[in-house]
């Protein structure tokens, strides 16, 4: 479907006609939604969604910021009826859809539909594990927190820990009081009837609209039993919002993983079950302690710094083989003890199964090298994920294309995939290839279930007047990103700009190391300003503080590049430290590049550049969030304007007016206060340059 072109007549004209009326002048939506305004792009998107739902087709839809895509897909889906699964990128967006967007659409349409939010089991209190958690808690603060969780579990109907303030996702308590697919006892659990997880799943099975997230969607696609697989065959319409994240999230779930956290958790459950069901028949305390010690020793072999190591790098670590052998030996010993007492309780059988599965996972991870390994016809990569306290051995396919294409082709359903950033150089080719929705899969083996005939495309431009509302500065006098002093120079420039900025400032970095250097420089140069840095608090706490504090400065890495909506004066300056290319030494990236190069194609052109383009578009998209916003975008990487491929990235950014001098940027920032006034309330700064001419699209 051509961009900005209305769809053809649909199989069910009434649905399209109804949507056309609702998104046109005189719409009843305006009476129910006072903030709603007529947007041609929103109307076109709603018509395309209506046609895809009627025809049970696949729609790839890129809708620029400000289009109002949420209402554009909710209205046709609710009007059509049937069961709908709505998946988005994060749990915060799930809650927003449930508490704000969906109620507004239901109210406007008068639609009496049942909706529920379904999250992964790690979000819900496990009543059985909550009873056992006290034996692992010793500090006063943790004991007080545990009492709060116990009170919460007694009083809250859903048991969703995200609604309990003051408990961070990284809290050790969070892990102790929730279950995993491994340690859940299922119907054998004495708390099964009261279980929050199974209550949520029963509610989902009875709902008309089920709101999930991509992690949950792919966890079930990987057969991890999170409750979505039972729903899929009954669904008429699947809507995947923030669809640009699907391929990367899916890869993380379609492989296999095991780690020291699982081993330690197994040891603790063995101790609890042994004391409860077979006290005195074995030294359960010693058995658990030895297993936990072996797991912690394995973590100590890895570097202290967090990050990823390839399988080859991991196997070369001094002491790795010995430590891994010790873990395997302890697991074998635990399995033997459990087998000897299996008849004592059904829980021992489940523990034995977990123990055996961990042994097999560790053995599998040490298998064939990446070049020989295959999964679903595509390359398989293995790596080690290192965190502060634990490590995880992970394997994953290089692409989700075969699995995703087969899923789409399996059932006769409508699939709506939408995002503000789905195209590269104006083409959906990269997105199609990543998801297997084309016969040419861009680095993957051909897919038997590819579905081009059902797949349609639509691009809808943002309604914002970017040239009038914003400016883009690409400094030419900073060190290149690979030169010494680049991060410090970015920090110094960001401080100078933030000092002139009457609103909030974001500094987006590509690495945590750069974030630390830039934040330190900003603190030194802006001593009186509120400075927020990633990991000082949870992401939500940082954003809440940022939004409530005039002229705050926040320095953040990957998680702040998208999913952040701060209109008005809350965010008027976005500084990006460098072009967001994935590090070539990252094991997953390196394996993908090697796979593409082996086919005689360019890894840079076919993978690195498109990925950077999508990330850069997301980062830049934090700036202008409404028709009245004004702001400055600064990209501190002169390769954006000095190289041919950089200019291709530049062409994908919003068409902000280009400026070339720091003084122009400072002058413009001093005019952006009071962003609620219309963008044309005054002439643009006299020194501003005109927008650059159109640049060529990326080659097909």
Q: What is the pLDDT of residue 689?
A: 33
Reported as a single tens digit per residue, the pLDDT across 215-268 is 889 887 765 556 677 788 889 999 999 999 999 999 888 888 899 999 999 999
Show the tokens assigned to 105: 């659409």
Q: What is the pLDDT of residue 242?
A: 95
The H or E element that residue 381 is part of is: strand 378-386
Contacts of 141 (CB under 8 A, 6+ apart): none
Q: Calculate mean pLDDT across residues 612-622.
A: 96
Q: What is the pLDDT of residue 369?
A: 54
Show the tokens assigned to 379: 């390359």
386/253 Cα distance (integer angstroms): 17
Statement: residue 346 has pLDDT above 50 = yes
Show the tokens assigned to 291: 């297993």
Reported as a single tens digit per residue, the pLDDT across 525-578 is 999 899 999 878 878 889 999 999 999 999 999 889 998 999 999 999 999 999
Question: Do residues 372 and 389 lie in contact, with contact meaning Cβ atoms separated by under 8 Å?
Answer: no
3-state secondary structure 549-584: CCCCEEEECHHHCCCCCCCHHHCCEEEECCCCCCCC
618/613 Cα distance (integer angstroms): 9
Reported as a single tens digit per residue, the pLDDT across 100-143 is 889 988 888 888 899 999 998 989 999 999 998 888 888 888 89
Alpha carbons within 13 angstroms on the beta-carbon side of residue 21 total 8
Query: Could you tell me which CATH number the domain at 466-669 has?
Result: 3.40.50.300
C-alpha distances out from residue 256 to 249, 250, 259, 380, Å: 14, 12, 10, 10
Q: What is the DSSP annotation of 508-525?
A: E-SSHHHHHHHHHHHHHH
C-alpha distances out from residue 663 to 174, 205, 553, 687, Å: 49, 59, 21, 9
Specify the CATH architecture of the domain 13-110+208-253+400-460: 3-Layer(aba) Sandwich (3.40)
316/319 Cα distance (integer angstroms): 9
Q: Calculate mean pLDDT across residues 17-34.
A: 85
Show the tokens assigned to 381: 């990569």
Contacts of 354 (CB under 8 A, 6+ apart): 182, 183, 266, 269
Which ranges of 126-223 does DSSP label H, i.e. alpha helix?
127-132, 140-155, 172-176, 196-206, 214-221
Reported as a single tens digit per residue, the pLDDT across 149-203 is 999 999 999 999 988 887 766 677 888 999 988 888 888 899 999 999 999 999 9
526/522 Cα distance (integer angstroms): 6
Q: What is the pLDDT of residue 4?
A: 43
Statement: residue 392 has pLDDT above 70 = yes
Instruction: Classify residue 242 by burial, with Cβ atoms within 10 Å: 0-12, 13-18, 19+.
Output: buried
Q: How many residues are there in the chain? A: 700
Instruction: Classify residue 492 by burial, with Cβ atoms within 10 Å: 0-12, 13-18, 19+.
Output: middle
Q: What is the pLDDT of residue 77?
A: 96
Question: CA angle, corner 538, sides to 536 and 542, nearest 5?
Answer: 70
Dihedral-angle region of residue 68 (phi above 0 means left; psi in -120 to 50 means alpha; beta otherwise)? left
Question: Do residues 101 and 75 lie in contact, with contact meaning Cβ atoms separated by under 8 Å?
Answer: no
Q: What is the pLDDT of residue 224?
A: 58
Q: What is the pLDDT of residue 166?
A: 75
Q: How far does the chain reach from its first CA to its final CA, in angstroms?
A: 18
C-alpha distances out from residue 238 to 14, 16, 399, 415, 424, Å: 21, 18, 21, 5, 24
Instruction: Classify residue 6 by burial, with Cβ atoms within 10 Å: 0-12, 13-18, 19+.
Output: middle
Q: What is the DSSP annotation of 289-336?
A: HHHHHHHHHHHHHS-SS-EEEEHHHHHTSTTHHHHHHHHHHHHHHHHH
- Beta strands 378-386 and 391-397 are antiparallel
Contacts of 155 (CB under 8 A, 6+ apart): none
Most distant CA pair in the chain: distance in Å?
Answer: 85
Q: Nearest to residue 27, comparing CAs of 38, 13, 40, 12?
A: 38
C-alpha distances out from residue 253 to 44, 175, 215, 217, 224, Å: 34, 19, 8, 9, 9
Q: Please, what sign has the CA dihedral across residues 290, 294, 296, 297?
A: positive
The reply to whether domains 13-110+208-253+400-460 and 466-669 share a CATH topology is: yes
Q: Nearest to residue 124, comparing CAs of 181, 200, 190?
A: 200
C-alpha distances out from residue 29 to 64, 105, 381, Å: 21, 9, 50
Question: Do residues 265 and 443 lie in contact, with contact meaning Cβ atoms separated by under 8 Å?
Answer: no
Q: What is the pLDDT of residue 170?
A: 67
**Where in the chain are the domains?**
13-110+208-253+400-460, 121-197, 256-395, 466-669
Question: Do residues 108 and 177 lie in contact, with contact meaning Cβ atoms separated by under 8 Å?
Answer: no
Q: How far is C-alpha 47 from the geometric centre of its chain's CA atoms? A: 28
Statement: residue 699 has pLDDT above 60 = no
Q: Nearest to residue 459, comparing CAs of 169, 69, 53?
A: 69
Q: What is the pLDDT of residue 223?
A: 58
Q: For the chain, what is the mean pLDDT?
A: 87
3-state secondary structure of 167: coil
Statement: residue 423 has pLDDT above 70 = yes
Q: What is the DSSP annotation of 215-282?
A: HHHHHHHTT---SSTTTGGG-SEEEESSGGGHHHHHHHHSSEEEEHHHHHHHHHHHHHHHHHHSTTSS
Any idea which of 340-354, 392-406, 435-449, 622-636 has the lowest mean pLDDT? 435-449
3-state secondary structure of 448: coil
286/293 Cα distance (integer angstroms): 10
Reported as a single tens digit per residue, the pLDDT across 67-96 is 999 999 999 999 999 999 999 988 888 888
Q: Calculate mean pLDDT across residues 349-359.
A: 95
Q: What is the pLDDT of residue 370?
A: 52
407/600 Cα distance (integer angstroms): 29
Reported as a single tens digit per residue, the pLDDT across 288-322 is 999 999 999 999 999 988 889 999 999 999 999 99
Q: What is the pLDDT of residue 375?
A: 57
Q: Which of the four pLDDT bands, split at 50, 70 and 90, describes residue 581?
A: very high
């Amino acid at each position: 479907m051509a961009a900005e072109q209305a769809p053809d007549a649909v199989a069910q004209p009434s649905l399209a006609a109804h949507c056309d009326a609702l998104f046109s002048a005189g719409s009843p939506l305006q009476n129910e939604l006072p903030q709603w305004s007529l947007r041609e792009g929103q109307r076109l998107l709603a018509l395309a969604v209506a046609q895809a739902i009627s025809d049970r087709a696949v729609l790839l839809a890129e809708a620029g910021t400000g289009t109002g895509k949420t209402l554009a897909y909710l209205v046709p889906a609710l009007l059509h009826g049937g069961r709908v699964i709505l998946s988005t990128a994060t749990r915060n967006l799930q809650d927003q859809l449930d508490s704000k967007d969906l109620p507004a659409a239901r109210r406007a349409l008068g639609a009496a539909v049942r909706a529920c939010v379904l999250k992964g089991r790690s979000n819900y209190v496990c009543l059985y594990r909550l009873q056992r958690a006290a034996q692992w808690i010793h500090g006063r603060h943790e004991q007080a927190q545990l009492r709060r969780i116990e009170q919460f579990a007694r009083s809250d109907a859903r048991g969703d820990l995200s609604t309990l303030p003051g408990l961070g996702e990284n809290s050790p308590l969070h892990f102790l009081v929730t279950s995993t697919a491994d340690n859940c006892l299922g119907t054998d659990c004495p708390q099964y009837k009261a279980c929050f997880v199974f209550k949520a799943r029963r509610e989902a099975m009875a709902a008309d609209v089920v709101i999930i997230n991509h992690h949950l969607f792919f966890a079930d696609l990987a057969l991890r039993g999170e409750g979505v697989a039972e729903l899929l065959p009954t669904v008429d319409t699947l809507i995947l919002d923030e669809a640009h994240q699907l391929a990367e999230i899916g890869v993380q779930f379609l492989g296999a993983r095991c780690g020291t956290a699982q081993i330690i958790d197994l040891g603790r459950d063995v101790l609890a079950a042994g004391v409860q069901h077979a006290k005195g028949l074995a030294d359960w305390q010693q058995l658990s302690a030895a297993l936990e010690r072996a797991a912690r020793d394995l973590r100590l072999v890895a570097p202290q710094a967090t990050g990823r190591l390839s399988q080859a790098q991991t196997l070369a670590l001094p002491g790795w083989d010995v430590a891994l052998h010790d873990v395997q030996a302890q697991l074998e010993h635990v399995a033997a003890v459990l087998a000897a007492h299996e008849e004592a309780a059904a829980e021992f059988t489940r523990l034995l199964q977990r123990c055996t599965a961990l042994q097999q996972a560790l053995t599998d991870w040490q298998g064939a090298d990446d070049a020989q390994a295959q999964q679903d016809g595509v390359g398989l990569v293995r790596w080690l994920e290192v965190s502060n306290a634990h490590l995880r051995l992970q394997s994953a396919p290089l692409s989700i294309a075969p699995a995703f294409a087969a899923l789409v082709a399996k059932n006769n359903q409508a699939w709506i995939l939408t995002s503000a950033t789905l195209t590269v150089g104006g083409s959906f080719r990269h997105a199609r290839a990543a998801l297997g929705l084309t016969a040419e899969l861009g680095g993957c083996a051909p897919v038997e279930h590819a579905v081009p005939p059902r797949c349609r495309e639509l691009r809808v431009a943002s309604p914002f007047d970017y040239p009038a509302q914003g400016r883009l500065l690409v400094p030419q006098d900073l060190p290149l990103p690979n030169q010494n002093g680049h991060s410090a120079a970015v920090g110094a420039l960001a401080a100078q700009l933030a000092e002139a900025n009457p609103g909030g400032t974001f500094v987006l970095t590509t690495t945590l190391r750069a974030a630390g250097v830039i934040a330190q420089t900003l603190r030194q140069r802006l001593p009186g300003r509120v400075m927020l840095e990633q990991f000082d608090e949870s992401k939500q706490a940082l954003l809440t503080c940022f939004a409530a504090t005039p002229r705050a400065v926040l320095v953040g890495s990957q998680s702040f590049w998208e999913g952040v909506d701060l209109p008005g004066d809350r965010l008027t300056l976005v500084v990006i430290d460098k072009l967001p290319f994935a590090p070539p030494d990252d094991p997953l990236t390196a394996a993908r590049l090697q796979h593409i190069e082996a086919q005689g194609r360019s890894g840079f052109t076919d993978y690195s550049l498109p990925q950077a383009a999508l990330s850069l578009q997301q980062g830049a998209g934090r700036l202008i969030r409404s028709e009245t916003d004004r702001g400055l975008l600064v990209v501190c990487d002169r390769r954006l304007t000095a190289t041919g491929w950089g200019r291709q990235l530049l062409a994908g950014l919003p068409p902000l007016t280009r400026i070339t001098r720091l003084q122009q940027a400072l002058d413009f920032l001093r005019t952006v206060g009071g962003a609620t006034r219309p963008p044309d309330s005054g002439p643009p700064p006299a020194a501003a340059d005109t927008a650059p001419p159109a640049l060529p699209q990326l080659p097909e």
